[in-house]
Structure 1
């Protein structure tokens, strides 16, 4: 059965989100470099995360330049479109696929760009989607804080019902 794509033409066009479209800043690149964990498996380029960490401002500015080039041209290196996926055994019978999980070995530069995009998406998700009452998945908040807020409210409601 052929797919009718005419319904797509009736969908409203949403405004672009400048938070996602703007080119990465040097501060974002530096922050993403700092968040990369060292001593992890290498991608195809065999460049460890320590090179980026200790590369200093010169390496960060080169990376920033290339990220902006990729961003504005909307083209990324061909090899970044593929990942080496390896299977990691968890537990149980090794011959059952459910007892392992796959991980993608990515180049560190690609991980840095992915971190920048992930941070931007998380900020938008938190600001525009999650209700204020949602504390999990928010930076510097926890469910424990909600328990302290909800507990006195629950006690007050209980006191009213008893009277």
Structure 2
């Protein structure tokens, strides 16, 4: 079953988060219909902060281990795509598809100087998503917003 079909059921789709092979196996044994990876959990497992601090090749390796032990559909948290260019993001998505990944999450923001997030321009981001879905039509693309404040505020009291 693919993510398009899973999202059209009468019942809500419940995903189990997986960050390694054993968590994927546990989710499959528990009867989940699909898996989603957690960038924060994978990063923490490898000793990194979330926000694309680990390399894409490290993410790819973990995903390959998850897919080696589970046949459940997998959506990978790709954060901002592990690149500043859409063509390279598409290459990354195609590498994930080659492993059997059927969905991705893309965020509408990126980390700046390893310290804060910056919201992407909506028009530019929409064009990026359109280019990605055109180049990777079989990949389920889930666009998400991580709620955050782009302006620092000072509390007084």
Which interval holds the TM-score relative to the shorter structure? Answer: under 0.3
| TM-score, L = length of structure 2 | 0.21
Richer in helix (by share)? 1
Which of 1 and 2 has higher RCO (CA within 8 Å, sep 6+)?
Answer: 1
Richer in strand (by share)? 2
Query: Which structure has the larger Rg?
Result: 1
